[in-house]
Amino acid sequence: MTPTPNQEAAPARRGPIVAYLAAGILLSLVAAWLLLLTTPDARDDERAFTTAPACTAPGGAGSDCLRTVTAVLDRTEKETGRKTPSYWLYLTEADGTSTRTRIESDLERLPAARAGANIEVTYWQDQIRYVDIGPDRHYTNADPRKSFRLPLSIGLLLGIWGATFLTAAAATAWSRRRSPRAFPWQVGLTVTGGTFLTLFGAMAAWNSDNIGDALQLTGVACGVVLGLCALIAPFLHRRHRGDDTIALKPSVPAEEACFPGLIMGEVPYAGHAGYLVAGPGVLATTPDPTGAFHRKAAPRTLTPLRVRPPYLTDPTGRPDYDGRAVVVECEDNGVPVLVVTRKKDAPAVLGALGPVPGR
């Protein structure tokens, strides 16, 4: 039995919803792990380090106290490929232990950082956390202070994106009953608002001294973004209600132009060629980006009916051109034909085919 158009459209309509739901759930789970486990653990390490006392008894290397030992600076090695000056320090401690640690500092401006110099290194939980070179203290790459900011920033970013995708799934499910558009304005507004919110959430994490302040700032930003979306939504609703026809004026190029495009339908000149050639009275498909070879010309009987946005019910394989695609609905002796191209190239298609009837 041949499926009806509605049956054929069902998988296409469900596809974006399933994709949004899968992405939203996955990102939300990762964000929950970062925000509920990794970030609090990093914050606890920071508190423990900043309040740790100096070790008073020997053998405190594995404890939570700060153990400071003297060492000789054997040599330094600059790490390349970094914007911030970063150096590896190769050390030999008083007991003969050789080790190394990395600091972000310009050692060329520190005369005390020379080979053979005596320095002090401070351990906490078996890692060097900072070194004292002369009167200057330099924290190493194992410094736990503010280490919560990275997982907090990533967690907020992924969490907001997860919520954005889940909202986009709901918006797609709601809008698909009212419009066949492949890219409804409700989803576009949701993604735009979510993008601004993720950027603000990431910045709030890097500019906050604790988790609570970052969450509070993100919550305020969320309220502002939702308010702006609520103000913009009625305007977009009025703009997109009614007919989906896009008004474009035909433009006949002085010479043939080649651009991305595709002709779809049960006609011999359709196919997945990838490019269209448009000129005075000429419209053809070709796999050649220059438009010179392997062309399949459309007959003069191909008549444009209207220009519209992509629909979920369009045939499989319709290109989106990064959201810039439009569809020129045509017919050829009663056979439906779709010409898909970018919006900026659609006037050339109309110029090659002739004016839309009634315009």
Q: What is the DSSP annotation of 144-211?
A: -TTTTHHHHHHHHHHHHHHHHHHHHHHHHHHHTTT--BSS-HHHHHHHHHHHHHHHHHHHHHHT-SSH
| 209 CA to centre of own chain | 26
Mean pLDDT value of segment 175-204: 81
pLDDT higher than threshold 70 for residue 20: yes
Q: For tokens 């495009």, name the residue.
A: 261
pLDDT higher than threshold 60 for residue 9: no
Mean pLDDT value of segment 51-79: 81
Mean pLDDT value of segment 36-49: 92
Q: For tokens 């900043």, name the residue.
A: 50
Q: What are phi and psi of 350, to 5 degrees?
A: -65, -40
Tokens standing for residue 346:
């659609």
Would you state the pLDDT for residue 204? 86
Would you state the pLDDT for residue 152? 92
d(CA 31, CA 36): 8
d(CA 230, CA 189): 10
Tokens standing for residue 295:
């062309």
Mean pLDDT value of segment 67-80: 88
Least confident residue range of 39-43, 238-242, 323-327, 352-356 = 238-242
Query: Letter for the amino acid at 60?
Result: G
pLDDT higher than threshold 90 for residue 16: no
pLDDT higher than threshold 80 for residue 277: yes
Would you state the pLDDT for residue 28? 94
Between 280 and 27, residue with greater pLDDT: 27
d(CA 215, CA 34): 14
| 51 CA to centre of own chain | 39
305 CB-contact burial (10 Å; exposed 0-12 / middle 13-18 / buried 19+): middle
**Can you count the helices (H) and strands (E) in the chain?**
6, 13
The sign of the dihedral angle between the CA atoms of 273, 346, 284, 8 is: positive
Average pLDDT, the chain: 84
346: enclosing H helix or E strand: helix 346-353
- Please state, in angstroms and as integers, the Cα–Cα distance from residue 46 to each residue in 34, 144, 145, 188, following that order: 16, 5, 5, 40
In this structure, are residues 156 and 31 in contact, taking their beta carbons and an 8 Å threshold?
A: yes
Kindly report the pTM of this predicted structure: 0.69
- Please state, in angstroms and as integers, the Cα–Cα distance from residue 285 to each residue in 93, 259, 311, 324, following that order: 74, 10, 22, 19
Q: What would the pLDDT profile of 97-136 be if each residue is shown by its tens digit?
A: 899 999 888 777 777 788 888 999 999 988 999 999 888 8
pLDDT higher than threshold 80 for residue 40: yes
d(CA 279, CA 297): 11
Between 67 and 243, residue with greater pLDDT: 67
Would you state the pLDDT for residue 10? 45
The sign of the dihedral angle between the CA atoms of 305, 261, 188, 9 is: positive
Question: Across the chain, which distance is largest between two alpha carbons, in Å?
Answer: 96
| Strand runs labelled E in the chain | 67-78, 87-93, 98-103, 118-124, 127-133, 136-139, 257-265, 275-279, 282-286, 296-297, 302-308, 325-332, 335-342
DSSP state for residue 141 in the 8-state scheme: T
